[in-house]
Structure 1
Amino acid sequence: KMVPLHTACLLLSLAPLLVLGVPPIWTQPEQVHLSYPGAPGSMAVTWTTFNETESKVEYGLLGGRLFEMIAKGGATLFVDSGKEKRKMYIHRVTLTDLKPAATYVYHCGSDEGWSEVFSFTALNDSTSFSPRFALYGDMGNENPQSLARLQKETQLGMYDAILHIGKPACHSLFQDNARIGDEFMRQIQSIAAYVPYMTCPGNHESTYNFSNYRNRFTMPGQTESLWYSWNLGSAHIISLSTEVYFYLDFGQELIFKQYEWLMKDLEEANKPENRAVRPWILTMGHRPMYCSDDDQDDCTQFDSYVRLGRSDTEPPAPGLEDLFYRYGVDVELWAHEHTYERLWPVYGDKVYNGSKEQPYVNPKAPVHIITGSAGCREKTDRFNPNPKEWSAFRSMDYGYTRMQVVNATHLYLEQVSDDQYGKVIDSIWVEKEKHGFSAWF
């Protein structure tokens, strides 16, 4: 006997629910990503479900018994501030006592639904380790041009960590009642579930006081991922929020809070015993101090807020250039501009090369790199045809940067053009016999 059409349609629509053993989607983990919580031998696993469930990670050494270890954590309810007040549960579990440089296989979730199986290599905690990074900002859901190449390279084991220098999703995590945020987090899972994905906030995360950014990511420290620092190999890496200079509605005191924190962190990193084992100090922040783009952004102004601070606050807010110079920051990584730009060593708007022949050998000022062209719906930016003398190399190609902190004296950077099928279009070695403020003289 024929089944009436409307009954057949109803049965078809129910078909997914009739398949035994498939968990309902709202208890299924998604948006899985890793981050380094700061303590040696640890890794944080973060994921999302849309119903409340347990938070468990089952894991084991590659080649050993699958999932022989279990770690438990907890979930926090995040209610997006959009009209729909969408709810999601952000789960966090920290794995501890990991063997340095050992590879682990894991999945996360609960008996109501598990993620697919991923793997990661625990970070090597030796100060003589030479970590490799991919760096970029401004990669979005639409036109994420560099994503496929980054996915493959990450899964090939080419990187120990990813530095996403602001503006995840490129448009905003909050858009469409935070569905854009969900989509972006699903998109980066193919990278971020395999290596620590370390972030800093960008301008598009500002809506609802950065709530989507603060809730979705799990960075070290107690500042809701807004600013923090961590160590890897011979580098001390500082992530900061340039956005405190631009969104004063959320509290001018944040500029001063961050500045005080930065000063303490840099003081600690510069103690002779600390700088001896981790001589490289690297910073990452979204909006650059300098750039030669033709778009009237803060970095195109001589007196940019990030560089020199704001005189219109009470008291006046200090900028970051003098602070970073005083504490001998070696390399400053930026994004925001949808271009790649490498600067000669620069301070106070002037070039301080190591020498004419070897500008990056014992440079007399910090080295700035702007890498914001990973791929975005806003396309790449245009350059000012007459850049200042500190601009060394510029490219409007889509792409991203690779960095390796090789040892205490050598650091390598190269720019990959995705438009040119992965060709390396720029590279430098920064070589320093000495680090810290005295290295400038």
Structure 2
Amino acid sequence: MAPVVYLFFLFCGLMPLALCVPSIGSQPEQVHISYPGVRGSMVITWTTFNETDSMVEYNLWGGKLFTQTAKGNSAVFVDEGPEMRKMYIHRVTLSDLRSGATYVYHCGSEAGWSDLFFFTALNESTSFSPKFALFGDMGNENPQSLARLQKETQAGMYDVILHIGDFAYDMHEDNGRIGDEFMKQIESIAAYVPYMTCPGNHEWAYNFSHYRSRFTMPGQTENLWYSWNIGSAHVISFSTEVYFYLDYGLDLLFKQYKWLKSDLEEANKPENRAVRPWIITMAHRPMYCSDDDNDDCTKFESYVRLGRNDTKPPAPGLEDLFYQHGVDLELWAHEHTYERLWPVYGYKVYNGSTDEPYVNPKAPVHIITGSAGCREKHDGFIPKPRDWSAFRSTDYGYTRMHLINSTHIYLEQVSDDQSGKVIDSFTLVKDVHGPEAWL
């Protein structure tokens, strides 16, 4: 035995075992990427538990490894649980990426590097036809859909993942360790395609601090609300939770509403709607649903849809705002089910026609997809569907969306309970976009 190794074991024999385990606090983990809303860019985000440099080494697929280097910075995040655990959230923005090109990368520092990952830079063309996986309510425990999503993502089936609120169940638990474990679980999809998010009610703890700190979305609102463009769509992400956690600031509700109104007005300018005709929203708690869980849709008229009259001043709802600005498709989660609605506004169905309800409908289409899998299991439905409810399922699963072109979007629901079977599908066809589509 070499003298140095002998001395190491002799020293360890005299010391507590924990002191002889090499520190891995400088090792990157929880790697995920997101689109920052800037052409030719991608943000790489990861975590360490020691303070280190923030670097990404990358290159075009098929080229010599690590020919380019980008540097960023880190921010200290302290979980507010009893241990006050501290971590470092690193962010590096890669710029001047070639539209639609694939890159290989790893992240970290000379104190430790991540595994090797790859991603495809966002195709900036308005004729790009992206494919999405979308879901909400996926936890660290019982994430039933995750294995299928891992395989499909790494097989190149998706260009973007949309996680529509409720992560980990819950990120703050066990002094933030559940959040760490969940972020490591999703690394196998989120390190390969942009993982775009919105907050849900399970992110409430410490004023949504885990959600605001762990992700990196476009804009300057700590990921609470933002918008971005992809292909022929303008995508808006926002927080339904501003209607419920008023102790964290009623002003957030009004700030978000003002921002939504401004963003929708900008998106509806003729020159903008001409190139991005689709407007798609994503947020956690739905305006409509037919679950029997005594929650938002059965306990009271939806705050998100109608607003609140118990605040000063009264808080405006969003259904009229979205209708007036011609929002085409609204994506929701929160209910641990899948539900497809007929085109609906004000509880009334406005199908395009009896035979083709989703061809030129006269109201927005809503999809609820909150059945990815979590420890709270399934929700149930009320026995009799509402008039506006077209299809519903309690199977674990997720939704696929294909933005085909400026007039067609295809959506389908995958049942993980049925080994990946597509249990529902439809194509939304719009020859006219904007408020005039309702006429």
TM-score by length of 2: 0.96
Q: Counterpart in 1 of 2:195?
A: 197
What residue identity is the alignment partner of 1:168?
A: F
Where 2:258 maps in the other structure, the secondary structure is helix
Distance (whole Å) between structure 2 residues aligned to residue 14 and residue 115 of structure 1: 26
Distance (whole Å) between structure 2 residues aligned to residue 317 and residue 64 of structure 1: 54
Deviation at 1:24, TM superposition (A): 3.1
Deviates more, 1:325-334 or 1:296-305: 296-305
Contact 1:136 1:371 in 2 (8 A): yes
Asked if 1:236 is matched to 2:234, the reply is yes
Q: Counterpart in 2 of 1:94?
A: 93
Where 2:186 maps in the other structure, the secondary structure is helix
Distance (whole Å) between structure 2 residues aligned to residue 282 and residue 8 of structure 1: 62
Deviations 1:89-146 (A, max 9, x none): 0000000000011110000000000000000000100000001000000000100000
Q: Counterpart in 2 of 1:112?
A: 111
What residue identity is the alignment partner of 1:30?
A: E
Deviation at 1:417, TM superposition (A): 0.2
Where 1:39 maps in the other structure, the secondary structure is coil
Distance (whole Å) between structure 1 residues aligned to residue 32 and residue 380 of structure 2: 33
Contact 2:79 2:86 in 1 (8 A): yes
Q: Counterpart in 1 of 2:39?
A: 40
Q: Counterpart in 1 of 2:315?
A: 317
Deviation at 1:301, TM superposition (A): 4.8
Deviations 1:404-438 (A, max 9, x none): 11000000000000000000000000000000001
Deviations 1:360-396 (A, max 9, x none): 0001000000000001111110000012100000000
What residue identity is the alignment partner of 2:85?
A: R
Task: Please give the residue correspondences for 1:189-338 in structure 2 after superposition, counting only pairs within 5 Å.
Answer: 189-301=187-299, 303-338=301-336
What residue identity is the alignment partner of 1:381?
A: D
Contact 2:12 2:20 in 1 (8 A): no
Contact 2:26 2:48 in 1 (8 A): yes
Q: 1:35 to 1:221 in 2, by over 3 A?
A: same
Distance (whole Å) between structure 2 residues aligned to residue 214 and residue 397 of structure 1: 30
Task: Please give the residue correspondences for 1:315-394 in structure 2 after superposition, counting only pairs within 5 Å.
Answer: 315-394=313-392
What residue identity is the alignment partner of 2:327?
A: V
Q: Counterpart in 1 of 2:126?
A: 127
Contact 2:58 2:104 in 1 (8 A): yes
Q: 1:12 to 1:146 in 2, by over 3 A?
A: farther
Contact 2:290 2:382 in 1 (8 A): yes
Where 1:403 maps in the other structure, the secondary structure is strand
What residue identity is the alignment partner of 1:193?
A: A
Distance (whole Å) between structure 2 residues aligned to residue 219 and residue 10 of structure 1: 48
Contact 2:348 2:388 in 1 (8 A): yes
Deviation at 1:223, TM superposition (A): 0.1
Deviation at 1:300, TM superposition (A): 2.6
Distance (whole Å) between structure 2 residues aligned to residue 130 and residue 124 of structure 1: 9
Contact 1:290 1:300 in 2 (8 A): no
Deviation at 1:299, TM superposition (A): 2.2
Q: Counterpart in 2 of 1:54?
A: 53
Deviation at 1:302, TM superposition (A): 6.0
Distance (whole Å) between structure 1 residues aligned to residue 304 and residue 79 of structure 2: 29
What residue identity is the alignment partner of 1:287?
A: R
Q: Counterpart in 1 of 2:149?
A: 150
Contact 1:281 1:330 in 2 (8 A): yes
Distance (whole Å) between structure 1 residues aligned to residue 63 and residue 428 of structure 2: 41
Distance (whole Å) between structure 2 residues aligned to residue 274 and residue 226 of structure 1: 24
Q: 1:420 to 1:13 in 2, by over 3 A?
A: farther
Asked if 1:412 is matched to 2:425, the reply is no
Deviation at 1:9, TM superposition (A): 8.1
Distance (whole Å) between structure 2 residues aligned to residue 288 and residue 54 of structure 1: 41
Question: Kindly, what percent of the aligned residue pairs are identical?
Answer: 75
Contact 1:164 1:197 in 2 (8 A): yes
Q: Counterpart in 2 of 1:166?
A: 165
Contact 1:287 1:299 in 2 (8 A): no
Deviations 1:276-308 (A, max 9, x none): 000000000000000000012112356210100
Q: Counterpart in 1 of 2:28?
A: 29
- Number of aligned positions between the proteins: 433
Q: Counterpart in 1 of 2:135?
A: 136
Deviation at 1:52, TM superposition (A): 0.4
Deviation at 1:12, TM superposition (A): 11
Q: Counterpart in 2 of 1:74?
A: 73
Distance (whole Å) between structure 1 residues aligned to residue 286 and residue 62 of structure 2: 45
What residue identity is the alignment partner of 2:44?
A: V
Distance (whole Å) between structure 2 residues aligned to residue 388 and residue 198 of structure 1: 31
Distance (whole Å) between structure 2 residues aligned to residue 365 and residue 158 of structure 1: 30
Distance (whole Å) between structure 2 residues aligned to residue 366 and residue 11 of structure 1: 70
Gaps of 5+ in 2: 1-5
Distance (whole Å) between structure 2 residues aligned to residue 142 and residue 302 of structure 1: 30
Distance (whole Å) between structure 2 residues aligned to residue 302 and residue 392 of structure 1: 22
Gaps of 5+ in 1: none
What residue identity is the alignment partner of 1:241?
A: S
Over aligned residue pairs, what C-alpha RMSD do you find? 1.8
TM-score by length of 1: 0.96
Distance (whole Å) between structure 1 residues aligned to residue 23 and residue 101 of structure 2: 34
Distance (whole Å) between structure 1 residues aligned to residue 193 and residue 389 of structure 2: 32
What residue identity is the alignment partner of 2:241?
A: E
Distance (whole Å) between structure 2 residues aligned to residue 190 and residue 115 of structure 1: 12
